[in-house]
Amino acid sequence: MQCPRNGLKVDQVRRVALTLNTADYCARMTSRLADYAITILDDELAESVDLENEENQFYDQVLAPCVSLLLEHVFARCHRPFSKLKRKNWMAVKVSGRMRLDRVVCQLRSPTLAQRKSAAVFCVFCCRSPAEHLITFLALNSHCW
């Protein structure tokens, strides 16, 4: 099964998850089954009990491809933002976020700002400014993530 460009549909994801969970259970149970068989069989027969191949088959033929498929699905869901990233004109970016933050820090540190305000007002400004930024950031957070 191949992942379409826009990702899997809801029922397809559910089916893959179901297969994955079942295969995982079967793989874990295979080794337990082998252990159990060894305990109830005669020594001669017990020696020939080996289900490692079957267990590996669950991992290699079901679990690994299903995990890859789900991974492709997650990346497919990121396709739109990734293609936006690709299309964006990064030459036109003049000021990065870090520079923007540096400027704010620079402004806060500038002596002119401290000189313009009285010591008490400047103190209140310094305490309020980061707190306001934090409150705004937290308020925005709920909308955007």
Partner 1 sequence: MEGPSRVTLGACVGIDATALCCTSHSQTTMEGLHDLLSQPLFDALCDRFGASFYSKYLEQVFACSRVGKAGAMQLQLDAVMLQAVLLKLPFVGRGTESKKLLRNSIGSSAFSRLLRSAVAKTQRILQLVGMDAADAIKHFKTCWEDGRVEDMMKILMLKGGCAALAVLLLVW
Contacting residues toward partner 1, per CB under 8 A: 7, 13-14, 17-18, 20-21, 24, 67-68, 70-71, 73-75, 77-78, 80-86, 88-101, 133, 136-137, 139-141, 143-145
Q: What's the rounded Cα separation, in Å, for the pair 72 and 19?
A: 16
Q: Provide the 10 A C-beta neighbour count for residue 3.
A: 18
CB of residue 102 to partner 1, shortest distance in Å: 10
Nearer to partner 1, 37 or 140 (CB): 140
Nearer to partner 1, 92 or 120 (CB): 92
CB of residue 1 to partner 1, shortest distance in Å: 16
End-to-end CA separation in angstroms for the chain = 31
CB of residue 60 to partner 1, shortest distance in Å: 14
Nearer to partner 1, 65 or 117 (CB): 65
Token look-up 């699905």 returns 73
CB of residue 31 to partner 1, shortest distance in Å: 15
The sign of the CA dihedral 104, 110, 115, 120 is positive
Among 26, 24, 29, 28, residue whose Cα is nearest residue 63: 24
Token look-up 């299309």 returns 87
